[in-house]
Amino acid sequence: MANDIVVDTAGLDMNNIPEHIAIIMDGNGRWAKAQGKVRTYGHQQGAETLKTIVKAADKLGVKVISAYAFSTENWKRPVTEVNFIMELLSRYLTNEIQDFNDNNVQVRFIGSRDGLPEVVRQKMDHAIEETKNNTGIILNLAINYGGQAELLHAVKSIAAEAVAGSLDVAKIDNQVVEDHLYTAGLPAPDLLIRPGGDLRISNFLLWQIAYAEIWTTKTYWPDFTPDHLVDAILAYQGRERRFGGLIEK
């Protein structure tokens, strides 16, 4: 994962780079089918694309990439595909650790550990431990993640603290909720990117993307390039972020 990638920054305002970019890595299976390959081949290529995009984002000054790797709904897919994805995650979290460290990438995870194979959970813990002191871009992988499940988890945690008397109900505000989300401590995404052509957010970071700019492309994730990333950021820079208010001219 040596960061030798070249990114064309022509036209970009390097003082207005999104701090946190969320990505729904969609279209792996359809891409593979278009190549005459099995769906698992698409997931493998999608993992390679993620490595490239993390490098490109790092060069551009992005601080966090949150990548939707496996959702709570993905368990509904064929067992062979789910098993392959779990094996791919295990290999990825084994083979890339040295390169993560070489490139100062810190790895984090969001989602529930329940139901994940023990080997995957061990690899996740190992990746966190081995990269925790890195100070560069954060790669935040969403594994067994669902936005509704995350909110439910936060509500239950807050309710438990209120019942125990350690949290005053009158003091529950946005910050309290955010402190109980999987993403606690991370800035909210500025930009949500969805390849693959679909126009939905698919239960991803429902609270966090309240005011994120959304950029979509019909390009499938395995074909997503640093140029696409630049195009998304250029679109982001061309928008006015009003956060529900008005901008005085």
Burial of 124 (0-12, 13-18, 19+ CB in 10 A): buried
- At residue 137, the 3 state secondary structure works out as coil
Burial of 241 (0-12, 13-18, 19+ CB in 10 A): exposed
Where on the phi/psi map is residue 171: left (φ > 0), alpha (ψ -120 to 50), or beta?
Answer: alpha
Residues in the chain: 249
Query: Is there a catalytic annotation at residue 8?
Result: no
Among the listed residues 3, 74, 104, 134, the single catalytic one is 74
Helix H or strand E segment including 91 = helix 79-95
Among the listed residues 26, 58, 140, 144, the single catalytic one is 26
User: Strand ranges (DSSP E) for the chain?
Assistant: 20-24, 64-71, 106-110, 138-145, 191-194, 213-216
Burial of 218 (0-12, 13-18, 19+ CB in 10 A): exposed
User: Strand ranges (DSSP E) for 89-161?
Assistant: 106-110, 138-145
Query: Is there a catalytic annotation at residue 74?
Result: yes
Phi, psi torsion values for 145, nearest 5 degrees: -110, 140
DSSP 64: E
Catalytic residues: 26, 74
